Amino acid sequence: MLKAGVDVDVYEQAPELGEIGAGFQMSANGTRVLSYLGLGDAMKKIAWEPNGKEIRMWNSGQTWKLFDLGAESVERYGFPYLMFHRADLHGLLVDAVRAEKPDAIHLNASCTGCSQDDEMAILHIDGQEDATGDALIGADGAHSNIRQTLFGEEQKEFSGLIAWRGVIDANDLPDGLIRPVGTNWVGPGGHVVHYFVRDGALLNFIGIQETDTWFAESWTARGTTAECLADFEGWHDTIQIMIQNIGVPYKWALMKREPMERWTEGRITLLGDACHAMVPMLAQGAVMAIEDGMVLARCVEKFGDDIEAGLKRYEELRLERTARTIRGSNDNADRFHNSQLGDPQGAQNFVDTEWQPDKVRERYDWLFTYDATSVEI
């Protein structure tokens, strides 16, 4: 938005900028946007680039290749598939914003609501004067205050899944234990995803398990190593070794939401998890927020003073794609946890059917080929 010549201020509730210790994957549809913004080299410097993705059986460790990444992502989609430590990417984005406008980010600014009139959008900030502008973008995450103010309490239900998250110092793992690929262990009732970040210095671990116990949907809820080990009892030794070496295991209750039918009201709209939070089974939540930002900036640029038309067009362009991603993520949850994975023959049949190359392309190509930088506005 700043690069498009639009003046922006960011109001963040946190008293200081920092990021929790966790990694995330960015497919070509996200790295394409960062490259367009001139951050391609900087992004590659802080990322880890995997050779490929593999599926592994939860108990035997049997391995199937899912697809090539690395060179093939660039060849097929024009841009790499990269893994990041969140703190590293967050730092890169903050620097990029400040390079355009040094005082753009206002910390300690907790939003308590919003309103608007014919002239402006108004952000109410706890204990401070209101901020005003031509438009307001609620990018305040899954528990968005702006969404609640505009559309009331949202409908969501516990998915029955918790995600264990943690980072492991690669030096603490036996040599050769983890191959240089993104790995997805699948089993009945659970799955584990791991990949390196920070140029291979850390391994990011996500273990998703079915449970009937409720926890918070939070980046900071801590669990214990013993609890995490108990959730993956009977799983392959490699999983046990990884869990034993996680510094602090965090847990996050995964919520399922129906796609919203609209998220714009006049001069106020939403972006990212505020309007389309999803379970992480397609690894697309943050990537969708990046695409949103690109499309929104282009709409605002195109519609100029007619801000309401610009926000409406942005919503129109993003509704179906993000809804489809929510549905695809839910479908993958069922796929990764299928009961057929319980025995070796059932597992072989299931993997042969579900991860057959044509089917994999069908599930991912429409995601990775999308170009937020040139989609027609």
Ligand X SMILES: Cc1cc2nc3c(=O)[nH]c(=O)nc-3n(C[C@H](O)[C@H](O)[C@H](O)COP(=O)(O)OP(=O)(O)OC[C@H]3O[C@@H](n4cnc5c(N)ncnc54)[C@H](O)[C@@H]3O)c2cc1C
Provide the annotated active-site residues: 195
x/- string (CB under 6 A) for ligand X, residues 23-42?
-xx-----------------
51 binds ligand X (CB under 6 A): no
What Å distances lie between residue 325 and 74, 192, 225, 368, CA to CA?
A: 22, 20, 32, 12
297 binds ligand X (CB under 6 A): no
What are the two backbone dihedrals, phi and then psi, of residue 7, each rounded to the nearest 5 degrees? -75, 130
How many Å apart are CA 295 and CA 301, to the nearest integer? Answer: 10
Q: How many CB atoms lie within 10 A of CB 46?
A: 17
66 binds ligand X (CB under 6 A): no
209 binds ligand X (CB under 6 A): no
**Residue of 136, 93, 90 whose CA lies nearest to 113:** 136
Q: Which residue has the tokens 């965090």?
A: 250
226: left (phi over 0), alpha (psi -120 to 50) or beta: alpha
296 binds ligand X (CB under 6 A): no
Least separation, in Å, of the C-beta of 38 and ligand X?
Answer: 21
Which of these segments, 61-69, 184-192, 269-277, 319-327, binds ligand X (CB under 6 A)?
269-277
Shorter beta-carbon distance to ligand X: residue 154 or 346: 154
**Residue of 203, 217, 212, 234 whose CA lies nearest to 163:** 217
Which of these segments, 12-20, 40-48, 70-78, 96-104, binds ligand X (CB under 6 A)?
12-20
204 binds ligand X (CB under 6 A): no
273 binds ligand X (CB under 6 A): yes
Among 47, 89, 111, 351, binds ligand X (CB under 6 A): 111
Q: How many CB atoms lie within 10 A of CB 14?
A: 11
How many Å apart are CA 351 and CA 63, to the nearest integer? Answer: 10
Shorter beta-carbon distance to ligand X: residue 238 or 322: 322
Q: Please report, as ranges, the residues that interact with ligand X according to CB under 6 A.
A: 11-14, 24-25, 110-111, 139-141, 145, 163, 165, 206, 252, 272-274, 280, 283-287, 289
